[in-house]
Amino acid sequence: MNRTLSRVLWIIAGVLLIIAGVLCLASPGVAVESLALWFGLAMLFSGIVDVAVFAAGQSCMAGSGWFLVDGILTILLSLFLLFDQWFTALTLPFLFGMWLMFSGITKFANSFELKRLGIRGWGWFTVLGLVLAAAGFLSFLEPVAGLLALSILVGVFFLLQGIASILRGCFSSRFWL
């Protein structure tokens, strides 16, 4: 996989996550099952992109191990969401919070590796990692939130994850050694 393809895939993943976020915000009364399906599909694509980028660029990309960790965790959580939607409806706030926390922590840790390597733009990943991890933690505080609040939270979190993915695409030329 070349640099351009990885950039394009990250940007596509980001756009899909942002579209999912906008859909959640535009229709806050959406059913939890439908929300879980969109959430699972967007997460699955995002995780596959991270793993594919790692596989193609592990020897020549800074911080690629963190992309693999983030991708695997995202794929595992997405499969759980897609194959057990009834359970997902009951546990969505917890699953969502775990994903955001793990993803935020990996982005935060990756940012310091990027800093150590002298890559410009590392601070964006630090900030986004902290915001995503905090958002994940906050989702644990109110697990019984109504569909309206959950839909709005999910929409905002999708937007944040989409922005993070698009930033990866925009800054990806700086990751290659």
Residue 140: CATH number of its domain: 1.25.40
**8 A C-beta contact, residue 57 and residue 4:** no
Domain count for the chain: 1
Determine the pLDDT at residue 145.
55
Q: Which domain holds residue 163?
A: 3-175
* Number of alpha carbons in the 13 Å side-chain half-sphere of residue 37: 6
Range list of H helices, 27-146: 32-57, 64-83, 85-116, 122-141
pLDDT for the residue 85: 66
pLDDT of residue 33: 59
pLDDT score at 126: 92
| Regions of the chain where pLDDT drops below 70 | 1, 28-33, 35, 61-63, 85-89, 142-150, 173-177
CA distance 126 to 113: 11
Torsion angles phi and psi, residue 176, rounded to 5: -75, 135
Q: What is the pTM of this model?
A: 0.52
Q: Among 62, 53, 69, 59, which residue's Cα sits nearest to residue 10?
A: 53
Relative orientation angle of helices 32-57 and 3-26, to the nearest 10 degrees: 170
